Structure 1
Amino acid sequence: MTLQAKLDAFKADFQSGKPPYNAPPQVHATMKKATDALIASGQAERALKAGDKAPEFTLQDPDGNPVSSVELLAKGPLVLSFYRGVWCPYCNMELQALEAALPAIRDLGASLVAISPQIKANSRKSVRQNELSFPILSDSKNDVAAAFGLRFTLPDYLIELYKNFGNDLPKINDDPSWTLPMPARFVIGTDGIITYAEVNPDYTLRPDPSELLPALRG
């Protein structure tokens, strides 16, 4: 089953309102409203694209060790996945799909890291729960996400919904700003140029990891 098929199945169960979700129709309407507004903003079209120079960064892994994009690119191409957080089931399914694709990514000489605004303790939880063998790097205040054109601020009505769900982003991320990255994947060549970019303001739509492999082969 493809990643998108798994996401679609989860979305259908969630929108059905059956246990354990029990979400009323207005919840889905609010989430769709926020997604539609982000799409209409055009921000995804302004994010970095294939052919652009990727920003350099150094972030900490879940154990507090610094990870440098420059050092990773000295070894081979780099695959980046921007991850919203441990609370997002769609994001977790994507991480699991990337883990399944990791042998193919490594066979092509590339490294894989995920980047998330959450604190290191929550990244450790994500790694453990999703049985990952690649790191989730902590992007405090979404600054690296902003450099890639991905950071956005949640509208007030979505903040209220997240609070009702118990998704306290200021606590999860140690940041009061209520910002997130749009889900995105990038392949960066050893020259620092982006060779593959996929940015989608609809967090329920995500390409299969196999789609980035041609950029690594190229």
Structure 2
Amino acid sequence: MKLQDKLDALRSDFENGRFPLVPTQAQLEIMQRATQSLIDSRQADNALEAGDTAPEVTLQDADGNTVSSRSLLSQGPLVVTFYRGVWCPYCNFDLQALEDARSEIEARGAKLVAVSPQTPANSRKSQRDNKLGFAILSDTGAAVADKFGLRFSLPDNLIEVYKQFGNGLTKINDDPSWVLPMPARYVIGTDGVIAYAEVNPDYTRRPDPFDLLPVLDRLRAGAPA
């Protein structure tokens, strides 16, 4: 089953009460309005895109090791996915789909990492629960997401819904700001130039990871991505 098919089924289950957490109609409407408001803001239009130079970043992985984009790019192209956190089932399906594609990605000489505002402890849980063979890097305050143009602040009414669901992002992220990255996926060439970018303010919509493979093939062949 394609990733988007799984996400569509998840959304249907959630909205129709076939999910462990059953939202009220009022909660659903707040969530839907918040997503539509982010879409309407056109913030995604200002995110980094193919042809832009990616910022150099240094972050820590879930075990406290320092990881730099420069070091990763010295080994080959880099696939970066921005991950909202352990609490988001859509995001976890996304990570699982990336893990399914990881061997094909690595066979093309690329590295795969996720970037999330959550704490290292929560990233370890994400890696364990989703059986990941790639690192989740901690982006405190979504500072790196901001460099990519992805960081946004949750509206107050959505914050209240998340609290009602038990998703206390201030604790999960160890940050008081209630900010998240828009889901996004990038392929960065060894020259630091972005070869592929997919940004969607609707967190229920994700590209299939296997769509990355032709981009990586072109980079490997030295052709324009």
Structure 1: distance between partners of 2:19 and 2:84: 24
Structure 1: distance between partners of 2:23 and 2:155: 20
The match for 1:177 is 177
Query: Does the Cα contact within 8 Å between 1:17 and 1:24 map onto a contact in 2?
Result: no
**Cα deviations by residue, 1:166-214 (Å, 9 ceiling, x for unpaired):** 1111111011000000000000000000000000000000010011111
State the secondary structure of the residue aligned to 2:187. strand
The match for 2:94 is 94
After superposing the two structures, state which structure 1 stretch, 19-28 or 179-188, moved more. Answer: 19-28
The match for 1:35 is 35
Amino acid at match of 1:101: A
- Normalised TM-score (structure 1): 0.99
Q: In the TM superposition, what is the alpha-carbon distance from 1:158 to its structure 2 partner?
A: 0.4
Instruction: Provide structure 2 residue ranges, at least 5 long, that are not aligned to the other structure.
Output: 219-225
Structure 2: distance between partners of 1:201 and 1:187: 19
State the secondary structure of the residue aligned to 1:115. strand
RMSD of aligned alpha carbons: 0.7
Amino acid at match of 1:113: V
Structure 2: distance between partners of 1:184 and 1:160: 25
State the secondary structure of the residue aligned to 2:133. coil
The match for 1:191 is 191
Structure 1: distance between partners of 2:51 and 2:19: 46
The match for 2:54 is 54
**Cα deviations by residue, 1:93-149 (Å, 9 ceiling, x for unpaired):** 000000000000000000000000000000000000000000000001100000000
Matched, 1:151 2:151: yes
Instruction: Provide structure 1 residue ranges, at least 5 long, that are not aligned to the other structure.
Output: none
The match for 1:215 is 215
The match for 1:13 is 13
The match for 1:68 is 68
The match for 2:113 is 113
**Count of equivalent residues:** 218
State the secondary structure of the residue aligned to 2:80. strand
Structure 2: distance between partners of 1:22 and 1:72: 42
Amino acid at match of 1:37: S
* Closer, same or farther: CA 16–192 of 1 in aligned 2, 3 Å: same
Structure 1 runs of 4+ aligned residues shifted over 3 Å read: none
Structure 2: distance between partners of 1:31 and 1:177: 19
Q: In the TM superposition, what is the alpha-carbon distance from 1:22 to its structure 2 partner?
A: 2.1
Structure 2: distance between partners of 1:189 and 1:30: 39
Structure 1: distance between partners of 2:143 and 2:202: 21
The match for 2:223 is none
Q: In the TM superposition, what is the alpha-carbon distance from 1:18 to its structure 2 partner?
A: 3.3
- Normalised TM-score (structure 2): 0.96
Structure 1: distance between partners of 2:101 and 2:197: 17
Q: In the TM superposition, what is the alpha-carbon distance from 1:19 to its structure 2 partner?
A: 4.9
Amino acid at match of 1:64: G
Amino acid at match of 1:117: P
Amino acid at match of 2:185: R
The match for 1:167 is 167
Structure 2: distance between partners of 1:159 and 1:55: 30
Structure 1: distance between partners of 2:25 and 2:13: 13
State the secondary structure of the residue aligned to 1:217. helix
